[in-house]
Amino acid sequence: MLAEGTTKIKDYLTKTKLETLDFVINPYSGCPHRCLYCYAAYMVSFSKHAERWGEFLDIRYTKKKINLYKIKNKKVMISTVTDPYNPYEEKYKITRNVMEQVSNSEAFITVMTKSKLVLRDIDLFKKTKNIEIVISICTTDETLKEKLEPCSSSLSERIETLRVLKDNGIKTVVFISPILPGLTDYKKIIEMTKEYTDEYRFDKLNLRSSFKTNMLNFISYEYPSLVSLYYDIYKNKNNRYFEEISLEIEDYCRKNGIIYRNFIAGEKFAS
C-alpha cells in the first residue's frame, strides 16, 4: 500500500551541482519502483512521511510555469531522485505536464526512466528540439531484475521501448547502471540493445545509508560466492574491481565503435 500525497513547491526547476547538468526536475517525491539499491533513498529524510522509501509518493505541484528563457541552452534532467514515468504517472500526468512545457524550450532535455510508460509521451518528444531518452539497465537476467527492481518494466519491455523510440527518430541512451560487481554483463546488455541505442553510459553500484546493508544482505543470501568481493569493495573500500572494469569497458567500446560516456571513475551523471 502506497501513501500518496501532494507537496506544494515554488518551482519545478532546481539548480544542481552535478557537473553534467544545470537543472533537474523531479515531478514526484518518492519512488514506487522500490529498487533495492536505490541511490535516491536518502531523500526520505527530506520528506514528512513516516513510511519508508518506496512506500510513499508525493506529487510535486506548482502553478508557476517553467521559465523557458532560464533553461535556454541549459542541460535539464527529468529526473534524478524519482522515476518520472512510475506507474502513478499514468493517473496524475505530472511529468506529461512538465514535458508539455519544456517541449517548447531550447534546453537539452534528458529523460531518465526504467518504464515503458515513457512511450505515452512520444508526441511531445518529437516536438522537443533537443531531447534524449535514457533507459537504465543493470542486468539481462529477468529473475534478478525482479528481485532488484520489482516494480519497473521488464528487460524485454525496456528493449521494446528503445526500439519504438528509435523508430520514431528519438535519441536513445542505455545507461548501464548500476554495474553490480560479478553480476552485470555489460557486453550482453550492449548486444541485446545496440540496434536501438545511440549511446551508452556506465556507472558503478554506489551504496549509501541503510540500502548498503540491504544490498549486502541480498548478496549474502542470493550470491554467497560474491560476498568477499562485495565486502572488499564496500567495507574495505578497495576500488580495484571498478578501476579494472572501467578500463575494460573503455577498451571494448573503442574497439567496437560504441559511443559512450564512462561515469565509473569520475563525474556523476545523476545523484
Question: Residues interacting with ligand SF4, by CB under 6 A?
Answer: 31, 33-35, 38-40, 81-83, 114, 152
- Torsion angle defined by CA atoms of residues 227, 232, 235 and 239, in that order, rounded to the nearest 10 degrees: -130
How far is 181 from 227, CA to CA, in rounded Å? 10
Give the nearest distance from C-beta 43 to ligand SF4 in angstroms: 9
Sheet holding 56-61, edge to edge: 3-8, 56-61, 28-29
Q: Tell me the closest approach of the beta carbon of residue 32 to ligand SF4, in angstroms.
A: 8
By beta-carbon proximity to ligand SF4, the closer residue of 96 and 158 is 158
| Smallest distance from ligand SF4 to CB 251, Å | 28
CA–CA separation, 6 vs 61, rounded Å?
A: 7
* The dihedral sign for the CA sequence 238, 140, 169, 83: negative
Instruction: State which residue, 125 or 211, has the beta carbon closest to ligand SF4.
Output: 211
Q: Tell me how far, at minimum, the Cβ of 67 lies from ligand SF4, in Å.
A: 26
Helix (H, G, I), strand (E, B) or coil at 13: coil
- Coil, strand or helix at 247: helix
Closest distance of CB 54 from ligand SF4, Å? 6
Q: Tell me whether residue 105 or residue 115 sits nearer to ligand SF4 (CB atom).
A: 115
Report the residue number, 27 or 105, with the smaller CB distance to ligand SF4.
Answer: 27
| DSSP letters for 55-119 | SEEEEEE-SSPP-TTTTTT-EEEE-SSS-TT-TTHHHH-HHHHHHHHHTTS-SEEEEEES-GGGG
CB of residue 63 vs ligand SF4: minimum separation in angstroms?
26
Closest to ligand SF4 by CB, 30 vs 181, is: 30
Q: Which is nearer to ligand SF4, 117 or 253 (CB)?
A: 117
Cα distance from N-terminal residue to C-terminal residue, the chain: 27
φ, ψ dihedrals at 262, nearest 5°: -110, 115
Q: What is the closest distance, in whole angstroms, from the C-beta atom of residue 73 to ligand SF4 in the complex?
A: 27
d(CA 81, CA 268): 14
Report the residue number, 83 or 132, with the smaller CB distance to ligand SF4: 83
